[in-house]
């Protein structure tokens, strides 16, 4: 039912929220020696989720290690510029998805009220 009402956007919002957590983890570990930055391949995660996989399984199967632009001596691959850009991009996309959802809900609400 909710899949029919929200379409792709419910799943997209889930993946965006999971990606937000992953990027937060990267920023938290910016000073941890040997930490390897990770990211979620959004398209792959969404594809898996729409294919019927669980939210956690879908995100887990789409986790990729980041390839650093310039590796540091302590083995840490977090690059602040990269992470900040990813956070900004993810936040904008999250807002967009939220707007799509809001639009759908407004439409249904109006229909129910009979306006």
**Least Cβ distance, residue 12 to other proteins (angstroms):** 13
Query: In the window 37-96, what residues touch other proteins (CB under 8 A)?
Result: 56, 59-60, 63, 80, 83-84, 87-88, 91, 94-95
77-100 burial, b at 16+ Cβ within 10 Å, e below that, comes to: bbbeebbeebbeebeebbeebeeb
Q: Contact between 108 and other proteins (CB under 8 A)?
A: no
Compute how many other C-beta atoms are within 10 angstroms of the C-beta atom of residue 36.
14
Kindly tell me which of 43 and 96 has the beta carbon lying closer to other proteins.
96
Least separation, in Å, of the C-beta of 36 and other proteins? 9
Please list, residue by residue across 48-76, b when 16 or more beta carbons sit within 10 angstroms of its beta carbon and e when fewer do: bbeeebeeeebbeebeeebeeeeeeeeeb
Q: Which of 9, 15, 18, 79 binds other proteins (CB under 8 A)?
A: 18
Q: Which residues bind other proteins (CB under 8 A)?
A: 13, 18, 20-25, 27-35, 56, 59-60, 63, 80, 83-84, 87-88, 91, 94-95, 98, 101-102, 105
């Amino acid at each position: 039912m909710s899949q029919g009402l929200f379409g792709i956007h419910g799943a997209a919002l889930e993946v965006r929220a999971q990606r937000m957590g992953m990027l937060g983890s990267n920023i938290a570990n910016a000073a941890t020696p040997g930490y390897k930055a990770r990211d979620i391949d959004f398209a792959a995660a969404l594809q898996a989720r729409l294919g019927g996989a669980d939210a956690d399984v879908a995100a887990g199967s789409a986790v990729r290690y980041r390839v650093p632009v310039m590796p540091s001596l302590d083995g840490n691959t977090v690059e602040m510029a990269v992470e900040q850009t990813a956070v900004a991009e993810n936040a904008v996309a999250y807002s967009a998805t939220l707007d799509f959802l809001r639009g759908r809900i407004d439409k249904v609400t109006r229909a129910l009220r009979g306006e």
